[in-house]
Structure formats: structure tokens, C-alpha cells
Amino acid sequence: MNEHQSDNAKALVCNRQEDLVRQKGKNRKAVSTEKVLTVEELHVSFKTFGGEVQALRGVSFDLYKGETLAIVGESGCGKSVTANTIMGLIPQPPGRIKNGKVLFKGKDLTKLSKAGLRKIQGVDISMIFQDPMTALNPTLQIGEQLTEGYRTHHKVSKADARKKAIEMLELVGIPSPEERLKQYPHQFSGGMRQRIVIAIALICEPELLIADEPTTALDVTIQAQILELFDEIQEKTGVSIILITHDLGVVAKIADRIAVMYAGKVIEIGEKREIFYTPQHPYTKGLLNSVPRLDLKEEELQPIEGTPPDLFAPPEGCPFTARCPFAMDVCDRVYPETTQLTKDHAVNCWLQDERSKLVFT
């Protein structure tokens, strides 16, 4: 990183995030080069009364064994649709996977039948949803909810399933697990309920865990505990995690790589330190600039002016053109190709394209 970039980067992140990025950078585990999941040119749309919403418009990324990939972006950018497509949860109709692949263990998940998907859902790939209270059944004891999926997929006895459930509650840090198995969701606090949801997601030892805004419904101290728990569990089990969030503090804490989405596309992807310290896409810079910093007054925050494009009729060129202070003629007409900046860091912006550099130098 040169001196100029370094100064700019320091100005971009809030103090707390900077600490967290440094801390995680120091402790960063060695991530395997083995791919667990490959998403290729995924196009997903939804038919509505108003027309067809093009929610995903060519999303591609890889996920490696034992890593945490955070997908970030504004509401409506396609983060959750990406997660739900991987998990096989897109209702068709009104949804339609128009193009692309989701490759997991040599299979394209978009081509699997409902029965084929059921064999994978909750076993090889699990998902944690935002609100633990709605994810749990209020009328069933925790023990039943923990063991139900495990017994269905593993054909084990009740006693063995119970033993496994106790093991899982211990793993997620719930004290007196034997007694707590008999309790109902309302007898637990919000943080404890999210721990139970995590235990349910992990009981079948999945290779991939998708966490969709897992800490949004929790207060800050519980949020920190749950994030610690994700780290611990990943170290113990080696599970790969896709974390969907709009909270850059969460990302700074646990992500290894970050994919930034905008208007149904991944517009920048890279190792966490690259995205926080040397972001290259104007939207990524805008996202980082709009986060509160301890050393700035509220009025010094820089929001991103304007709104995302209409996904009923998305623009052919760069979708950020209308909001971008650096927009050029070409931006509006042609979508920028991917520029690979480092092994991990890639961006879709004409400013980084070698051809535009020739014009401006």
C-alpha cells in the first residue's frame, strides 16, 4: 500500500472497525484453498404485478473451506436473494432462476429436485435467520426442535439424538443443557435463543452455514457474544460461513473476505483488509464513508446521495452511474468488466479498467 492510499484508507474506517480489522488480521486463520461452493453468473428474477424484478443479475463468487465470506450492501441489493437461492428457498413461481449455477460438492443446486434439495438442506448446508423467536416453534420444547432434523437425517435412536443435542447446547455455551432441553423458547433470552438456533443449524455438522443478519435482532453486548461464538465454532468445526449483513462492524469482526453487492451484482470483492483499507469502487468507498466514526461529528458523516436503480428496468451500464461523482460517458452505456487487482481483490468499475487509464494519462 503506498503512502497516499494508506492515508485515504485510515480516513475511511471508524476507529472501532479499524481495531477489529487489525485484531482479526493478526489472528487470521489459514483458509484452505479448497472450494466449498462456487456461484457462477447467477440470474434470479421475480414476477410481480408491476413487472419482473431482476433481483440477481450475474452474481459470481467462490467460498473456501473454513472461511467467512461477508456479503454486504444496501437493502434490496440482492444479498438475501443470493442466500436463499443457495439454500434452495426461492419460491418458483413467482421467483425464477433464469441462468447460472450454484455448485456444491460437484452438484448444481439450481438443477436439483425438491427431494434432492431436502437431502442437503439442514444437513450439508444450514441457515440461520435474523429473528430467533420466529425461527423457533414456540409450542415445542427446545430438545424436540434440536433433535427433529438430526433424527430424520441420521436415523439414530432418541437417546443418541438427545446426547447429541446436549453436546450442541454445550458447544454454543448454554449452561445446564440437560434441564434446558425441556424448556420452551419463551423461557430463554434473545441471545440464548439465537444460540439455540445456531445449535440447530450445526447439529448435522454442515459444511456450509449461511447466516442472514444473525445479530440484527440482538442488543450490542449479546451481538458481540454471538460473533465470538461464530469464531469459536468455526475454529472447532471448520465450517465455511456466508454472512449476510449491512453492518460493517460485524463484518470487521468476523469476515475473512467481503463481497460488496449493488443492484443485483457483486461490484467489488476482496480480502477484508483490502476492502477496508484500499477500497476501489466508489460505492464501497461511499459505504465506508457513511459509517459513524468516533472522531467525527454527526454532521460530518457523508451519506451516499440518491437511491439505487429500479430493478424492474435496471440500466445497461454501471448501476451506480446516477450516484457516482466520477461517472463518465461510458459508465451509463457499458457495464465495466471485472478488473483483478490482486489475487483476492477484484472490482467492476471503469476507473480501474486499463483502457480508461490510457485515456486519462
Residues at the contact surface with ligand SF4, assessed by CB under 6 A: 281-282, 318, 320-321, 324, 326-328, 331, 336, 349-351
CA angle 16–22–27, rounded 5-degree value: 125
Order of strands across the sheet with 95-104? 51-64, 35-48, 95-104, 107-108
Nearer to ligand SF4, 191 or 286 (CB): 286
Nearer to ligand SF4, 170 or 337 (CB): 337
Nearer to ligand SF4, 73 or 282 (CB): 282
Query: In 142-219, where does DSSP find H-type helix?
Result: 142-154, 158-171, 177-180, 190-202
The distance of closest approach from Cβ of residue 320 to ligand SF4 in the complex, given in angstroms and rounded to an integer, is 4
The distance of closest approach from Cβ of residue 250 to ligand SF4 in the complex, given in angstroms and rounded to an integer, is 25
The distance of closest approach from Cβ of residue 268 to ligand SF4 in the complex, given in angstroms and rounded to an integer, is 10
145 close to 164: Cβ distance less than 8 angstroms: no
Nearer to ligand SF4, 25 or 58 (CB): 58
The distance of closest approach from Cβ of residue 269 to ligand SF4 in the complex, given in angstroms and rounded to an integer, is 15
The distance of closest approach from Cβ of residue 242 to ligand SF4 in the complex, given in angstroms and rounded to an integer, is 25
Q: What is the CA radius of gyration of the chain?
A: 21
Report the run of H or E that residue 35 belongs to, with start and end. Answer: strand 35-48
Angle, helices 220-237/190-202, rounded to nearest 10 degrees: 20
Instruction: Name beta bridge partners: 103.
Output: 38, 108
Nearer to ligand SF4, 227 or 258 (CB): 258
Nearer to ligand SF4, 277 or 320 (CB): 320
Order of strands across the sheet with 346-347? 125-128, 208-212, 240-245, 68-72, 257-262, 265-271, 346-347, 339-340
The distance of closest approach from Cβ of residue 309 to ligand SF4 in the complex, given in angstroms and rounded to an integer, is 11
Q: Does residue 69 sit in helix, strand or coil?
A: strand
The distance of closest approach from Cβ of residue 267 to ligand SF4 in the complex, given in angstroms and rounded to an integer, is 8
In Å, the largest CA–CA distance within the chain is: 72
Q: How far apart are CA 72 and CA 210, in angstroms?
A: 13
Nearer to ligand SF4, 296 or 327 (CB): 327
Task: State CA 206 to chain mean position distance.
Answer: 17
